[in-house]
Amino acid sequence: LIALSSQCIICLVTCAQVGLLSAESTQSLFGKNTRHGPVFTQEPSDSIFPLSADDNQVFINCKAKGNPPPHYRWKVDGREIDTKSDLNYSLIEGNLLINNPHVINHGGVYQCIATNTFGTIVSREAKVQFAFLQNFSRKSRNTVSVREGQAVVLLCGPPPHYGEIKYSWVFNGQSSFLQQDARRFISQRTGNLYIAKVEASDAGNYTCAVRNIMTNATVFSSPTPVVVRRDAVMGEYEPKIEVQFSDTLHISKGSSVKLECFALGNPVPSISWRRADGNPLPGKIKINHSSGVLEIPYFRPEDAGVYECVAENSRGRNVARGQLIFHNVEHLHWAQTLKDAEMAIGANLQWECKAVGKPRPTYRWLKNGELLSAEGRNHVEGGTLTISRISLLDAGMYQCVSENEHGAIYASAELKVVASPPDFTRRPVKKSTVIQRGGEVVLECRPHASPRAIVLYDGTLRITNISKSDGGRFTCVARNRFGASSSTGMLVVKEPTKIIVTPLSLDATVGQSLVLPCEVSSDSSLSPIFKWFFNGKAIDFSRQEHFEMIGGGFAGDLMVRNIQLKHSGKYVCMVQTEVDTVSAAADLIVRGPPGAPEDLVVTDITEATVQLSWSSGPDNHSPVTMYMVQARTPFSIGWQTVRTVPDSVPGQMMHATVKDLNPWVDYEFRVVAINSVGVGEPSMPSKQIRTKAAVPKVAPVNVSGGGGARGELVIMWEPIPEEQQSGEDFGYVVAFRPLGSNTWIQTVLASPDASRYIYRNDSMAPLSHFEVKVGVYNSLGEGRFSHVVKVVSAGEGEHPSEAPSRVWGRSVSASEIEVFWEAVPPGSSTDEIIGYESEADRVRVVSTTARLSGLKGNTVYQISVSAQNSAGLGPCSHALNITTKKPPPSQSPGNIEWNLTNSKIFLNWEHVKAMENESEVTGYKVVYRQNWHGRTTVLETNKTSVELQISSGEDYLIEIKALTEGGDGTSSGPIRIPKMSSKFQTLSSM
């Protein structure tokens, strides 16, 4: 016992010395004040500092976090810096300040070292350099003598320097630098000045100017005198390329590369650039200094290749070439780094770090800043470190260093070694575990202990096929060499949950409502929770208007209201209790009206027929029984059902011939599919087509005449509508003959809008009787004539002298007005009154009442009436203002539902609400007929439902309209109710 106590005391002292955690301190391992080793938050980086007279301090950053806070040291070129004895260096927190830096003495590779009680880490190495520029030598430069026409090269010979510099030249002490052109070139690699062909004006003093880009300092060389000799003139010679780029250049991605090329020659050579493979130069290329420099910014793989500089004059040409090779450098970066580890004594540790880069990197490992030797319990293989049988001495800071020729990267982590007796404080055995009878349970025992505790039953207790007798208290006991501990929990056994009423797979029709049942039996002490899933997603009952959970306790049925096509799919009822989860599934198929047919095509266009073909749309789980074809023209009101061959297009047929069309009319077509559920959505309209022209088939109607002035025969008729004119150049042929004559007199009227023709003949006797007929023609020929009518020429009396009296009227609907008046008394003219005419709509009648139709709703009309005899019209009556009724609602009855039995159809629909400028709805008109051409029956009602008596075994077509004082509202469109259907259905109007 004494020996054990001594050993324990030694262990605790050792823990304190190396900064490890005791059993108590490990409980705050994850707290905000956790003690840990240093971690860099800022590391030094490669830097170039400009040195000038004003810069006497340089600052290199380094910062680390740790608890306790770390202290810092620095190395330069592997040598430790003594900031106490070396006055050029001082520390500000972790940062290194260099006072009065010297180019040679203080340039080098710097590294920051951070240490606290847990260990030491070293930063990445940072190369620090200083940009500087010394003065040129004051020694005089030799005179350069050159003949006119010859070339010359003036050497700059820059002084010692570091950092990027820029070369310029000054001529004869001028304030501005020498400008480069096709004849003069300054190389930014050497600083030399090249003059391709010397002229007399080039004589003078040349000074090389060098500027350090970083320090902005500029120094000037001694002048170089240039003398141009006049004793002889240099003859012409071919170009000699004096400035050229390397044969091979390796360029990394994203770099900018500049190629210099300049030639000497007489005459002055021109410089051009090209690629050896014949491909055009990249568009981003810049060529400057009179083509002497080619720059390729943002180098990419496609920019690689052989580039050629061509120097050319009248004496010849010369070529310099070099290959640019794309150098794919991948900078070092971590693919896998290290994580701090807390390990028990005697455990095995394996850390692995992986870096990516080109060339492939190597690895080395550091412990507390020193190279870790691979010996004893330490094993190093590349980026993997293994330490077996960890001891307290292994605690500390570890770093994995990955490096290649381009640099190095550092990853660090801390190893804590824990020694403590078993402790259930943070992870006790679960106080109470509830499980179903017949199930399986695993009771875990995971105390905190270092080294790992020896636990009875191997730490985990597994019980299978549980019975009621297995319930009770269970205790786990854990021991290691530092002590023992225990933890107790309860096992409670419950009856299993079963679904006793499961949801059934069903078929439903759009608009129906149904219930999917889900009922369970469970332990009476448990409260089951029901959840429903639709196609794999949980149903959110707060957002789903169609779904409702009904029932309670041990039932959680799903009500689906007003089912839509989108509700087809798999439904799962899931029931959860404290001890188990059970589920059951069912499939719901929703049948609805067909989807819209697709790919409608119009072919084989004739004067009265077209051929249609289409593809079927989705049948929505109910096969298509027939198709209905509709058309519209510029003259129709909306879509109208058209006649086809066959008369009823069966659901298996995807084509039909449309017949009875009007020639020379623009048509659009669409197709509607019908199944046993109802009428589907229409297809997209076809491309507009025009039927072929034909000879007119319709003759004018309402041919009449009479009246006019003496010697006139007035003939009138109703114009043919444009949609029945059948072709271009439409007109009328008017034919007439005296009664009893065999010879027709004909005249042609070329206007399609003509409605009157007056034949004048002064020798014509008053009130002569004529036979009259009116025919039609177009560019393809003449059509039919109207029936022959008798017309009387004008009499010799006077126009009526009086206007009709007591004129009054009333609005009948939004489009009709009825007008009444008293007849003109006898004696108001010498001729008999033969009719009256209303000025509002030019309506001519014989009686003393007229109905004006085709009017606009909610509009004021001014109406007057005049009498007519054979001599013409008399004066107009006083004008009468009458306002038509508001128009009927434009909205048609919607959401029409129907139910069919053997002898009745039950219909109901939504009430149509009129807008402010529309007439109020007073009732509804239901129009129905058997098939497309059966006898039509009309039923009026003031309700939104109706019951129709029908004959069995036939299809029915039904339309519903709103009734108002302004007339009938918009029709719901034809609704086809198939003879075999008995489903409840919701249909939208077409």
- CATH number reported for the structural domain that contains residue 773 in this entry: 2.60.40.10
Nearest to 490 by CA among 469, 476, 471: 471
Choosing from 753, 788, 823, the residue where a domain stops is 788
pLDDT confidence bin for 934, thresholds 50/70/90: low
pLDDT in tens, 535-548: 999 999 988 889 99
Determine the pLDDT at residue 27: 35
- Number of H helices and number of E strands within the chain? 1, 93
Determine the pLDDT at residue 134: 92
Choosing from 97, 132, 167, the residue where a domain stops is 132
pLDDT confidence bin for 368, thresholds 50/70/90: very high
Residues 169 and 222 in one domain: yes
What one-letter code names the amino acid at 496? P
Residues 641 and 577 in one domain: no
Residues 451 and 518 in one domain: no
Burial label, 225 (beta-carbon count in 10 A; 0-12, 13-18, 19+): middle
Residue 424 lies inside a defined structural domain of this protein? yes
Determine the pLDDT at residue 3: 25
As beta bridge partners, residue 454 has 479
Q: Are 172 and 205 in contact (CB under 8 A)?
A: yes
Nearest to 396 by CA among 73, 116, 66, 42: 116
pLDDT in tens, 557-593: 999 999 999 999 999 999 998 888 999 999 999 999 9
State the average pLDDT over residues 245-269: 92
Determine the pLDDT at residue 834: 62
| Residue 466 dihedral angles phi and psi, to the nearest 5° | -65, 140
| pLDDT tops 60 at residue 9 | no
Residue 173 lies inside a defined structural domain of this protein? yes
pLDDT in tens, 624-679: 999 999 999 988 777 888 999 998 899 999 999 999 999 999 999 999 999 988 88
| pLDDT tops 80 at residue 943 | yes
Sign of the CA dihedral 634, 635, 640, 644? Answer: negative
Residue 5 lies inside a defined structural domain of this protein? no
State the average pLDDT over residues 386-395: 92
Residue 934 lies inside a defined structural domain of this protein? no
Determine the pLDDT at residue 537: 92
Spatial separation of the C-alpha atoms in residues 317 and 274, rounded to whole Å: 14
Bigger pLDDT: 31 vs 562: 562
Task: List C-alpha distances in Å: 303 to 83, 275, 296, 382.
Answer: 51, 10, 8, 37
Choosing from 417, 448, 473, the residue where a domain stops is 417
pLDDT in tens, 852-886: 888 888 999 888 888 877 666 788 888 889 999 99
Spatial separation of the C-alpha atoms in residues 424 and 428, rounded to whole Å: 5
Residue 771 lies inside a defined structural domain of this protein? yes
Please, which residues have CB within 8 angstroms of residue 575's CB and are 6 or more apart in sequence? 497, 499, 518, 520, 522, 528, 529, 530, 531, 556, 581, 582, 583
Determine the pLDDT at residue 842: 64
Determine the pLDDT at residue 408: 93
461: containing domain = 420-493
pLDDT in tens, 593-631: 999 999 999 999 999 999 999 999 999 999 999 999 999
Bigger pLDDT: 770 vs 832: 770
| pLDDT tops 50 at residue 980 | no
Residues 763 and 784 in one domain: yes
Residue 756 lies inside a defined structural domain of this protein? yes
Strands 679-682 and 666-675: antiparallel
Nearest to 609 by CA among 667, 682, 687, 649: 667
Global pTM reads 0.45
Query: Tokens 């260096």 sit at which residue?
Result: 89
Peptide bond preceding 503 in cis form (omega within 30 of 0): no
Determine the pLDDT at residue 457: 58
Spatial separation of the C-alpha atoms in residues 881 and 595, rounded to whole Å: 51
Determine the pLDDT at residue 413: 95
pLDDT in tens, 418-440: 888 888 888 888 888 888 888 88
| pLDDT tops 60 at residue 29 | no
Residues 148 and 210 in one domain: yes
Residues 630 and 581 in one domain: no
Residues 713 and 677 in one domain: no
As beta bridge partners, residue 657 has 611, 645
| pLDDT tops 90 at residue 495 | no
C-alpha 798: how far from chain center: 81
User: Within a 10 A sphere around the Cβ of 140, how many other Cβ atoms?
Assistant: 10
Residues 47 and 78 in one domain: yes
As a whole number, the mean pLDDT across the chain is: 87
Q: Are 792 and 870 in contact (CB under 8 A)?
A: yes
Residues 476 and 399 in one domain: no
- Using DSSP's 3-state secondary structure scheme, residue 724 falls into helix
Residues 338 and 407 in one domain: yes
| Residue 5 dihedral angles phi and psi, to the nearest 5° | -65, -45
Spatial separation of the C-alpha atoms in residues 561 and 512, rounded to whole Å: 7
Residues 659 and 740 in one domain: no
Strands 945-949 and 967-968: unpaired
Residue 919 lies inside a defined structural domain of this protein? no
Lowest mean pLDDT among 128-137, 301-310, 361-370, 828-837: 828-837
Nearest to 919 by CA among 849, 969, 847: 969
| pLDDT tops 70 at residue 256 | yes
| Residue 9 dihedral angles phi and psi, to the nearest 5° | -65, -45
Structurally, the chain folds into a number of domains equal to 9
State the average pLDDT over residues 328-336: 87
For the chain, percent helix, then strand, then coil, each to nearest 5? 5, 50, 45
Residue 197 lies inside a defined structural domain of this protein? yes
Percent of the chain beyond pLDDT 90?
54
Residues 587 and 646 in one domain: no
Q: Are 514 and 567 in contact (CB under 8 A)?
A: no
Strands 47-50 and 126-133: parallel
Joined together, the tokens standing for residue 672 give 């509607």
pLDDT in tens, 688-728: 999 999 999 999 999 998 877 888 899 999 999 999 999 99
Determine the pLDDT at residue 956: 75
Determine the pLDDT at residue 21: 33
Task: Output DSSP code: residue 35.
Answer: -
